[in-house]
Amino acid sequence: MKEEDIFTMDRRRFIKNTAIGLAFLPTLGFGPLKAGENKKITKVALIKTTDRAEGVKEVLQILDFPTVKNKRVFIKPNFNTSDPTPGSTHNDTQSRLILEMQNRGAVEITVGDRSGPAATKSVLEEKGIFELAKKLNFKVINFEELPEADWVNFNPPGCHWEKGFSLARPAVEAEYLVFTHCLKTHQYGGVFTQSLKSTVGMTPKSLMRELHTSPHMRKMIAELNQPFKPRLLVMDGIEAFVDGGPMKGTVKRADIIVAGYDRVAMDAVGVAILKELGSNEAIMGRKIFEQEQIARAVELGLGVSAPGQIELVTADKAGWDYAKKIKTILANG
């Protein structure tokens, strides 16, 4: 089957016919790896869409990720505040992701986060998460209400945290951990907020002063990710903050849903999308793998180390055309 023949098919029919479709799924690699790059290849799937629910459903159909059948799934969203997406995870994205996990045989779903600066309980209430939990039959954990015993302490060698850091036990020890995050810049020192920075919501508020006053903030964000590994990452990029953030900012539409299982690859693709949209100097003026969050994560072995290890997977011509743009940006940095 030729590439052009694949894209004459309707996208829904293409994905539905997985026996044929997945065998010929369009992928976009970067050619031979350079000397010194390891041989690990990770897939990042993307769907061009304006429909969050449909986008989540379709991107998971084309991504080969570990089964959730008979697993207890913990979903860590971006509930930093209750601001409209991309300020926080959209309820349509959250709902579809929960349904997809249930449809794939998960025996239990839990959603948990820690907000800030607002109280987590008020953010969950304002977003209607407790009502949604009743409707879709999932549990909710407010990390601010965790007892001391449910915080796990870590102090890995070489980390920039003064006395190490703590992470919420329900997430870090989850049987099957899923991150869902937004696509946005971060004006308070983080530069961008995606999968690596999502882990900040797994720490107690007492650590925030140290994080936000340290010149090593972006390295410290990466270091929080050392003790655990999510099994699945889903990014809502329908709308993005290309400046400002994480609560409010300059919005542009990317109309894309992205999924993968490698935090470095996902964040690299996310930064490439911000570059494609046209972002601020902190994004546009530095190469992707030179961003401190990403560079430190690579040093720690948290994911791929170069663009050549990222294989973009999509399902139709719109996705293919966009993937080629992102491939070029990734390759150029």
The neighbour count for residue 148, using CB atoms within 10 Å, is: 7
265 lies in some domain: yes
34 lies in some domain: no
Number of domains in the chain: 1
188 lies in some domain: yes
Ramachandran region of residue 278, left (φ > 0), alpha (ψ -120 to 50) or beta?
A: left
Distance CA(222)–CA(160), nearest Å, equals 10
25 lies in some domain: no
238 lies in some domain: yes
In eight-state DSSP terms, residue 247 is S
Q: Under a CB-based contact definition with an 8 Å cutoff, are residues 184 and 86 in contact?
A: yes
Does residue 86 have a cis bond before it (omega within 30 degrees)? yes
294 lies in some domain: yes
- From first to last of its 333 residues, what are the pLDDT tens digits of the chain? 444 444 434 455 444 433 323 333 556 665 544 544 456 899 999 999 999 999 999 999 999 999 999 999 999 999 999 999 999 999 999 999 999 999 999 999 999 999 998 999 999 999 999 999 999 999 999 999 999 999 999 999 999 999 999 999 999 999 999 999 999 999 999 999 999 999 999 999 999 999 999 999 999 999 999 999 999 999 999 999 999 999 999 999 999 999 999 999 999 999 999 999 999 999 999 999 999 999 999 999 999 999 999 999 999 999 999 999 999 999 998
33 lies in some domain: no
137 lies in some domain: yes
CATH number, domain containing residue 244: 3.40.50.11440
Q: Under a CB-based contact definition with an 8 Å cutoff, are residues 27 and 313 in contact?
A: yes
The helix or strand, by DSSP H or E, that contains position 109, with its residue range, turns out to be strand 108-113
What domain range is 217 assigned to? 10-18+39-332
